[in-house]
Amino acid sequence: MFTIPELEEAHALVGRHVPPTPAHDWPLLSEALGATVIVKHENHAPTGAFKVRGGITFIDWLKRTHPDMQGVVTATRGNHGQSQARAAIAAGLTAKILVPHGNSVEKNAAMRAYGADLIVHGRDFDEAKDEAMRLAQTEPLYPVPPFHRELVRGVATYGYELFTAHPDLDVVYVPIGCGSGICGTIAARDALGLSTEVVGVVAAGAPCVKLSVEAGRLIETNEARTFADGTCVRVPVQEAFDIYSTGTSHIGAVTDDEIADAVRLFYSATHNLAEGAGAAALALALQEKERLKGRKVGLVLSGGNIDRPLYQTILAGGTPEA
């Protein structure tokens, strides 16, 4: 998708607002997997998630190419919305953000704090997304889709950081929602000419991406049910599918119980907070640990924005209801 100069330019732009996040080795995780483990800590980024990077490059592009736009409108389960609100407001634009009913209370509060005009609409992300695209036709607001080249170019900067620091990674596990994170990881790997295996992770209750890759075409599901809201998507994105369907070695699914186990392990082994999607990579690595023995494994901890009641349930040994 990108040349090295394009990624370097994006990294310089993002770096003016987001310091490089750490990529740490954790011996207790290495013991659990029987492998050398490197965690890319996107939970340490401003907004607490990797999405913040894409907002910076997207709003920069929007200001240059659509100067008539007064703001943006988009849909989210939280992290994308924080990213867009943060970057848009900083650039003097407005941000209208749609979320579904039952969305994360704490992510909603964070988006409002960044200056978003928050609207609750629909039963899930995909219904909120459809309404956001409709609103864009009635107001001078640019419709930010869940997947766009400039979003991916910004997000790819975490992969660029990870792979330049650890070019010898054998495999990297990446959670998938609409696909910007995994496509950015693939883009960075390919631009740097590395052979690292990239593995995608979905929640078993939101399997549209896995089903689509297995079928060789987009497969929508009637519902998506998982407490890992960053993966909770019913309708896959064609542009992302075109990249991850060929750029990954495979897509694996993890149950909510497995995700909760991984959240607990991240806490006990690293004392880091992981939201559901943020722990999904570790969950699948644990499921596949027999194939990882002796290898160097990267885990993308994509975010740490989990509501306190859910985290309390997990630390008490339970699994939150979807």
At 186 the pLDDT is: 98
Question: What percent of the chain stands above pLDDT 70?
Answer: 100
Pairing between strand 197-203 and 250-254? parallel
Mean of the pLDDT values across residues 177-190? 98
At 54 the pLDDT is: 98
Pairing between strand 36-41 and 296-301? parallel
Q: What stretches of 166-275 show up as alpha helix (H) in DSSP?
A: 180-191, 208-215, 238-247, 256-270
Please state, rounded to an integer, the average pLDDT across all residues of the chain: 97
Mean of the pLDDT values across residues 51-62? 98
pLDDT digits (tens, 9 = 90+) for 108-124: 999 999 999 999 999 99
Q: Within a 10 A sphere around the Cβ of 196, how many other Cβ atoms?
A: 23
Mean of the pLDDT values across residues 152-181? 98
Amino acid occupying residue 216: G
At 154 the pLDDT is: 98
At 104 the pLDDT is: 96
Q: Give 53's pLDDT tier (boundaries 50, 70, 90).
A: very high
Nearest Cα to 195, choosing from 171, 159, 160, 164? 171
Q: Give 103's pLDDT tier (boundaries 50, 70, 90).
A: very high
The pair phi, psi for residue 309, each rounded to 5°, is -60, -40
Q: Give 224's pLDDT tier (boundaries 50, 70, 90).
A: very high
At 195 the pLDDT is: 97
At 167 the pLDDT is: 98
